[in-house]
Structure 1
């Protein structure tokens, strides 16, 4: 029996949104695990740091015992594992390079938007 992929999630996080969006596009069933990011700071708790992400950041996924942090790494993992047609993370090196470039750009946009929201 396979277990559902678990996404440690905060609804207002742009990085969590990116992961939720790809999960939806790939039709991957998952369990959302709410993280009391604000005001609870659950992502900085001793348990979260020890078990899920020593950097205290979200999103984090758990997939059959495999724990992965960082939105961009999670997107690559999900596309590699769940997209048999390779539309989201192609095998071609040039296209893969373009995907990496987009991921870096999207990370910067999300980071600055999140920083602006927090301030």
Structure 2
């Protein structure tokens, strides 16, 4: 069993985080870590899990409204690109997502008759 220094492990994890943030998929990041560092898929998965946890921790720093605006903007971009490339099912899917996260969420919030610590 090969021993890995903390510096090398930290470097691999930072590379995994960087690649996930750049938009690479998990399986693609896994494949590149295995290829570049000569590690097992299991070790690459551990590095990817660490990177994913860092991304989730960073999400706590942002407000919900900012995240919602970003999500809607990204979904709108997907919709427009799907229309340009004539991928109608992807366009419909992005429209459904925008409907779900905006209109249905607002209706669900408005339909709550109780608030606070009301218990039955």
Per the normalisation by structure 2, the TM-score is 0.30
Per the normalisation by structure 1, the TM-score is 0.30
Structure with a larger share of its residues in helix: 2
- Higher Cα Rg, which structure: 2
Structure with a larger share of its residues in strand: 1
